[in-house]
Chains A and B, each alone.
Chain A
Amino acid sequence: MDILQLLVSGIANGCIYGLLALGFVLIYKASEAVNFAQGDMMMLGAFLGITFINASYADLPFLIGITLAALLLGLFGYLLDRFVLRAIFGQPQFAMVILTIALGFLMRFFAGVIWGHDPTSLETPFVAQVWMLGELMIPVVDALIILTTVALTTVLYFFFARTRLGVAMQASSQNQMAAYYMGIPVKRINAIVWALSGVVAAIAGVLFAAKGAVEPSVGLLFGIKAFAAAVIGGLGSLPGALLGGLLVGIVEPFAGRFLPEVGQIAPYLLMLVVLVLRPGGLFAQISQKKV
């Protein structure tokens, strides 16, 4: 029972890692560079959620609050790409990596100015409620996280597999030049990908804040763990990112319980093992160009 209990909380945590890793992969596929501000975008999403939902601020219902946070951070992502990142379009990838690290600093700074540095948590109607499944205790928050993640990934799956825009996003990530030749507006598509990763980050952030307290620097460590999850999945594969997130989420509580000495570094050990055994990650997409 104990193990099942750990598993439930591990999966719930893993879902948040997975969503964040999804954001990493989306942007990596679109621009071939890692967005190191992804964790900080999640932090912004968490604070936006708190602002919309908590009684001391706007006091809106949970569903409306999370939707507004997602839309607002989506818009933020779109504008970020449109006005900041497009300015360095065509520069070496390294420039973008440095730029996103700098953006992360800025986001943490402004979040501190706006919301203060004290840990704040999201007030939800279901904060301490649990469902009993036999002897297994399932916190309602965990169930909500898992269900939301399943719903969001299903929507994303159909978006990428079935819609014209979704397939065009895949196409431009696989061969940007050819997408350009087809008349696909690659730059606009990139901005939409940033918007999408903002939406996903906001949802992850609100769910994260529903589980525990957030403060402006929370995205840093969490973002790095989610990055490890994305690498484990094979940076470039959406299902891989989710699986990597779940693995990291599950490994953490188990390592903390049974091997307290390595608890903190368990996700990175896992990443190391995966990279040694499968250098491309679990779901590496490998294509060889035929000449």
Chain B
Amino acid sequence: MSDASPLLRVQNLEAFYGPVMALRGVSIDVFKGKVVAILGANGAGKTTLMKTISGTLSPRKGSISLAGEFIQGSDPDKLVRQGIAHVPEGREVFPFLSVEENLSMGAYTRRDKAGIRGDMEMVYDYFPMLLERRNQAAGTLSGGQQQMLAIGRGLMSRPSLMLLDEPSLGLSPLLVQEIFEIIRRLNKEQGVTLLLVEQNARVALNTADHGYVLETGRIVMDGSARDLLASDDIQEFYLGQSAGDDRPEKRWKRKKTWR
């Protein structure tokens, strides 16, 4: 079900990465309880968008509102308290802290000991592997385990909105399936709204309810995940399939229709 007003509304957002204009007026809506995917190639501005929403980057123009309240330009520690958790690209765990200490740092902004304890049990339920290695330094985990730890750490702030930046980065296809299965369960069972950035369009659209396509700082396409999966453009440029009778040497001639 979708409420009248979205949980997260980004409007005409412009952000710079040094002198480079990385976002050129991006608008997206994320409704409560949904999974929204943002697709795009390298350098499209996906990570910049995530960083601007979570407050680690300040926008030049535009607005971001969370549950009706404007939040653009706030510091991340305030936004974490308001319910945004950012699981950054490349895991970024604390390498010399144990798994459990990493999780407890995810709950840094919280003071309710019992609630934190309970959420830690919940994270261990979703990722039993973390329980086995709770006292192990996070830097000694494998890439996939670190990704699970990063997601678990993000859950520890009990977010209403979780930003997931490239959870499939550098993982084997099997692990990607496993992680996305857990992401789906988190969305269904915990009601966490998810904004997902992915290069792996197929797995992202199979998980998401809605998708946006970001290219060089602009949203060029959006629609329900089912429509996007069926669209010719997405098939051609993000899923790497060509229409059956296309001769390979002609492929370069096909242009994206959104231009």
| Chain A residues with a Cβ under 8 A of chain B | 164, 167-168, 170-171, 174-175, 177-185, 285, 287-291
Interface size class of B (residues with CB under 8 A): 35 or more
B170 within 8 A of A: yes
Number of A-B contacts (CB under 8 A): 81
Asked if B94 contacts A181 (CB within 8 A), the reply is no
With A164-B108, A168-B105, A184-B108 already in contact, the answer to whether A287 and B139 are too (CB < 8 A) is: yes
Among B75, B146, B153, the residue within 8 A (CB) of A182 is: B153
B223 within 8 A of A: no
What is the minimal beta-carbon distance from A278 to any residue of chain B, in angstroms? Answer: 18
How far is it, in angstroms, between the C-alpha of A290 and the C-alpha of B142 when the chains are bound? 7
Asked if B143 contacts A171 (CB within 8 A), the reply is no
Which of B76, B104, B143 gathers most chain A CB within 10 Å? B76
How far is it, in angstroms, between the C-alpha of A289 and the C-alpha of B169 when the chains are bound? 13
| Chain B residues with a Cβ under 8 A of chain A | 54, 56, 75-81, 86, 88, 90-97, 101-102, 104-106, 108-109, 139, 141-143, 146, 153, 157, 169-170
Chain A residues with Cβ below 8 Å from B78 are: 183
With A171-B105, A183-B81, A184-B105 already in contact, the answer to whether A177 and B88 are too (CB < 8 A) is: yes
Asked if A175 contacts B93 (CB within 8 A), the reply is yes
Chain A residues with Cβ below 8 Å from B104 are: 164, 167
Chain B residues with Cβ below 8 Å from A171 are: 94, 97, 101-102, 105
How far is it, in angstroms, between the C-alpha of A289 and the C-alpha of B146 when the chains are bound? 10
With A167-B101, A177-B88, A290-B143 already in contact, the answer to whether A182 and B93 are too (CB < 8 A) is: no
Among B94, B141, B169, the residue within 8 A (CB) of A170 is: B94
List 5 additional contacts besides A170-B94, A182-B80, A291-B170; criterion CB under 8 Å: A170-B96, A171-B105, A174-B96, A180-B76, A184-B77
Which of B56, B78, B92, B106 gathers most chain A CB within 10 Å? B92
How far is it, in angstroms, between the C-alpha of A177 and the C-alpha of B87 when the chains are bound? 11
Chain A residues with Cβ below 8 Å from B146 are: 290
With A177-B88, A290-B142 already in contact, the answer to whether A167 and B97 are too (CB < 8 A) is: yes
What is the minimal beta-carbon distance from A270 to any residue of chain B, in angstroms? Answer: 26
Asked if A174 contacts B105 (CB within 8 A), the reply is no
Chain A residues with Cβ below 8 Å from B142 are: 290
With A180-B76, A290-B142 already in contact, the answer to whether A174 and B97 are too (CB < 8 A) is: yes
What is the minimal beta-carbon distance from B103 to any residue of chain A, in angstroms? Answer: 11
Chain A's closest residue to B102 (CB) is A171
Chain B's closest residue to A285 (CB) is B96
Asked if B88 contacts A181 (CB within 8 A), the reply is yes
Lowest 8 A-B CB distances belong to which pairs? A183-B80, A178-B92, A183-B77, A287-B95, A183-B109, A287-B139, A290-B143, A171-B94
What are some 8 contacts across the A-B interface (CB < 8 A)?
Answer: A171-B101, A174-B97, A177-B88, A178-B88, A182-B80, A183-B77, A285-B96, A290-B91
Asked if B56 contacts A181 (CB within 8 A), the reply is yes
How far is it, in angstroms, between the C-alpha of A168 and the C-alpha of B77 when the chains are bound? 13
What is the minimal beta-carbon distance from A47 to any residue of chain B, in angstroms? Answer: 37
Chain A residues with Cβ below 8 Å from B54 are: 181
How far is it, in angstroms, between the C-alpha of A170 and the C-alpha of B109 when the chains are bound? 16
Which of A175, A289, A290 gathers most chain B CB within 10 Å? A290
Chain B residues with Cβ below 8 Å from A291 are: 90, 143, 169-170
How far is it, in angstroms, between the C-alpha of A184 and the C-alpha of B146 when the chains are bound? 20
Asked if A170 contacts B97 (CB within 8 A), the reply is yes
